[in-house]
Amino acid sequence: MARGQGGSKWHTSVEKGGCVLIVVPVQNFYSKMAPIAANKKKATATSSHTFIVDFAAPADNKIFDAEAYKQFLTNSIKHEGKTGQLGDVISVQSAGAGKIAITSSVPMSKRYIKYLTKKFLKKNMLREWLRVVSTSPDTFTLKFFASEALNDGEEA
């Protein structure tokens, strides 16, 4: 026995064996939803990000090799899932004595540069002596850990 067939365009209810079955037409349901946006390309800003790593103190003590660090960054930075293929979008350059500048025209995390720097220090067994400190929004500085042996020696 059917109920609700009296002209309702939104739903029809049918009673079958003690249960009420409500049928909603699909075309009416989806016609009220907002249209799906077409695949639009987003305009990207062409701003470049420049990060500077300052390693003047370790370089003065001759324990830090600037060329090896520059080569490590060039080989290790990932662009589009591949290492060593920076192309024109990422560049690693010397920026004065004891500094390296990493310039990227694609979004790059400052944290990623810190991660790679710590990885280089670990690989060259310098992680126990040097730490990576953020000194400004776009600069990292490599500093020596404060040694207790040096502090004890100065007091005596």
- Domain residue limits, the chain: 2-30, 49-149
- Per the prediction, the chain carries an average pLDDT of 81
Mean pLDDT of 4-27: 61
Which CATH number describes the domain made up of 49-149? 3.30.1360.210
Q: How far is CA 10 from the centre of its chain?
A: 48
Question: What's the pLDDT tens digit per position in 78-132?
Answer: 999 999 888 899 999 999 899 999 999 999 999 999 999 999 999 999 999 999 9
- 125: nearest Cα among 68, 83, 84: 68
Mean pLDDT of 39-60: 80
Position 48 scores a pLDDT of 86
Torsion from C-alpha of 137, 84, 124, 57, nearest 10 degrees:
-40
Question: What's the pLDDT tens digit per position in 52-71?
Answer: 999 999 999 999 999 999 99
pTM, full prediction = 0.65
